[in-house]
Amino acid sequence: MRKSAFAEGERFMMEEKQMFVNDKVRIGVIGVGSRGRGIVKTVLGIDHACVTVICDLYEDRVADSVKRAEEIQGFAPRGTTNWRELLTADDVDAILVLCAWEPHIEMAIASMKAGKPVGVEVGGAYSIDDCWRLVHTYEETGTPCMLLENCCYGRMELLVANMVKQGLFGDVVHCEGGYRHDLRSEIAFGKENRHYRLRNYLSRCCENYPTHELGPIAQLLGINRGNRMVYLTSMASSAMGMHEYVKNTPTADQGLLDKTFAQGDVVTTCIKCAGGQTITLTLDTTLPRAYSRQYTVQGTRGMYMEDNQSIYLDTDHGEKMHFNWQPNWNNAKDVYLEKYEHPIWKKFLTDGVRGGHGGMDYLVYNEFVQAVYENKPMPIDVYDMAAWMCISTLSEESIQKGSAPVAIPDFTNGRWVLHNAD
Ligand SMILES: NC(=O)c1ccc[n+]([C@@H]2O[C@H](COP(=O)([O-])OP(=O)(O)OC[C@H]3O[C@@H](n4cnc5c(N)ncnc54)[C@H](O)[C@@H]3O)[C@@H](O)[C@H]2O)c1
């Protein structure tokens, strides 16, 4: 169990474990678009979970997910288009926020105030004020809140975390990560598919999706637990990819050719940590490219490179091999995985891997449900959530100021130092 950045993290937990009706956490879901629709099924495969209310702005989406949930769990959840109904619902023990990015923090805050533990899908923050309100609401209410960052449970991310913990990489000095995903069709067909990304790409220019890569890196570097991110600088390229795509895709909304996309095609953000480490994040979603989270970890004794799935260690390879490296591509899986598989994945393989995104979805949602069920602290808490999500709004500010350095708030108010000797 990872410790909360809050020194007395458990002081807010309830005195006694709550008894759940039929031994199940009754979940209310907000947002059943493409993500929420699939996650309802994932959640219904988890022990001690059932879904009692489903909410979306669109009635057709509510009806579809209610029907699918009924087929799986044997009874139909109630449907609603008003998310606030979940806050006072007697048959909702916990809330999942799986909707478009913009209201995530508002919904998390309202859920905590209503005393309902809340899990929130990934995205970036729109203001630093929102991040502080998130943290203060948690401190005032003690209601658990978790960012549902599935990539923190990626098999390779956890393999590397395990190897770093065992000292095989020496001291970690630099990490890289990216969200490098060709989303041109998702954005261009946003109006037709009622998808939120289009309006964001027309309106903002920032590192709008930092947590897939930053989450595992922050955990590796002990951010909020003996380390913290101190400042960043961010730079955006021009925005040309979407116009080219729309121009060459007659079925896409040709009206977009008259619009200006604010979001640069590639946004590069550099972060400096109190422990001296640097982190580079790359958002790259509107040019043709192969998918990559570009996860890279460099220490004084070795490194991991996601893009060729390889691990380079002083002990195993030595300096002479660095020029002729291609024969070692994929050695992370072929050579190291069996020996250094993370315990979470060892257990998952034994129990049976299930759920989307190679199993990561099941793992992160299961952590949330079991934390609620057992009254345990959330493994990715509000301090992580605020620190990771704030990168979006800070990168926006840095870009607007010509890549000026921007300070990253310490949402733990100094408590990150308390874990420095752990
Ligand atoms: N972790 C992952 O791997 C992963 C993958 C895909 C999406 N996501 C995340 O999931 C979330 C949803 O993404 P998506 O692709 O499903 O988007 P989507 O646009 O397909 O669906 C979002 C849904 O939210 C609903 N919604 C918006 N505001 C609402 C409100 N106020 N009340 C109720 N419903 C509301 C919309 O009507 C829509 O149906 C985002 O945060 C996204 O970043 C995560």
Q: H-helix or E-strand containing 406? A: strand 406-407
Question: Hey, whose CA ends up nearest to atom 34 of ligand 1?
Answer: 56
Atom of ligand 1 nearest to the CA of 98: 11
Question: Hey, whose CA ends up nearest to atom 42 of ligand 1?
Answer: 122
Atom of ligand 1 nearest to the CA of 149: 1
Residue 282 CA to ligand 1 center (angstroms) comes to: 22
State yes or no: pLDDT of 240 exceeds 50: yes
44-103 residue pLDDT tens: 999 999 999 999 999 999 999 999 999 999 999 999 999 999 999 999 999 999 999 999
Residue 98 CA to ligand 1 center (angstroms) comes to: 5
State yes or no: pLDDT of 421 exceeds 60: no
Residues of the chain above pLDDT 70, percent: 95
- The pLDDT of residue 319 is 78
Q: What is the dihedral of CA 394, 399, 402, 404, to 10 degrees?
A: 20
Q: At 14, is the pLDDT very low, low, confident or very high (cuts 50, 70, 90)?
A: low
183-219 residue pLDDT tens: 999 999 998 888 899 999 999 999 999 999 999 999 9
Within 6 A (CB) of ligand 1 lie: 30-31, 33-36, 55-58, 61, 83, 98-101, 103, 121-123, 150, 195-196, 357
DSSP result, 350-382: HH---SSGGGHHHHHHHHHHHHHHHT---SS-H
Instruction: Cite the beta strand spans of 289-420 per DSSP E.
Output: 296-299, 302-305, 310-313, 406-407
Residue 33 CA to ligand 1 center (angstroms) comes to: 5
- The pLDDT of residue 321 is 83
- The pLDDT of residue 244 is 98
Question: Hey, whose CA ends up nearest to atom 4 of ligand 1?
Answer: 35
State yes or no: pLDDT of 237 exceeds 70: yes
State yes or no: pLDDT of 127 exceeds 60: yes
- The pLDDT of residue 373 is 97
Residue 373 CA to ligand 1 center (angstroms) comes to: 25
Q: H-helix or E-strand containing 204? A: none
CB of 293 closer than 8 Å to CB of 317: no
Closest CA to 279 of 174, 209, 178: 174
- The pLDDT of residue 9 is 45
State yes or no: pLDDT of 4 exceeds 90: no
- The pLDDT of residue 323 is 85
Residue to mutate, 196, 198, 214, ligand 1, most ligand atoms under 8 Å from C-beta: 196
Residues 139-146, mean pLDDT to the nearest whole number: 97
* Local structure of 235: helix, strand or coil: strand
The per-residue b/e assignment along 218-251, b for 16 or more CB within 10 angstroms, e otherwise, is bbbbbbbbbbbbeebbbebeebebbeebbeeeee
Residue to mutate, 84, 118, 121, ligand 1, most ligand atoms under 8 Å from C-beta: 121
CA distance 261 to 203: 7
Residue to mutate, 30, 32, 35, ligand 1, most ligand atoms under 8 Å from C-beta: 35
* Single-letter code of the amino acid located at 214: L
Question: Hey, whose CA ends up nearest to atom 8 of ligand 1?
Answer: 35
Question: Hey, whose CA ends up nearest to atom 20 of ligand 1?
Answer: 33
- The pLDDT of residue 7 is 42
297-341 residue pLDDT tens: 999 999 999 999 999 999 999 877 888 899 999 999 999 999 999
Q: What pTM, to 2 d.p., does this model score?
A: 0.96
Q: At 6, is the pLDDT very low, low, confident or very high (cuts 50, 70, 90)?
A: low
State yes or no: pLDDT of 11 exceeds 50: no
Question: Hey, whose CA ends up nearest to atom 19 of ligand 1?
Answer: 195
CA distance 30 to 84: 10
Question: Hey, whose CA ends up nearest to atom 37 of ligand 1?
Answer: 57
Residues 390-404, mean pLDDT to the nearest whole number: 98
Question: Hey, whose CA ends up nearest to atom 7 of ligand 1?
Answer: 35
- Distance between alpha carbon 278 and the CA centroid of its chain, in Å? 20
Question: Hey, whose CA ends up nearest to atom 1 of ligand 1?
Answer: 150
- The pLDDT of residue 13 is 55
CA distance 228 to 276: 10
Residues 11-32, mean pLDDT to the nearest whole number: 81
Q: H-helix or E-strand containing 190? A: none
Residue 54 CA to ligand 1 center (angstroms) comes to: 13
CB of 173 closer than 8 Å to CB of 298: yes
Residues 362-383, mean pLDDT to the nearest whole number: 97
- The pLDDT of residue 1 is 38
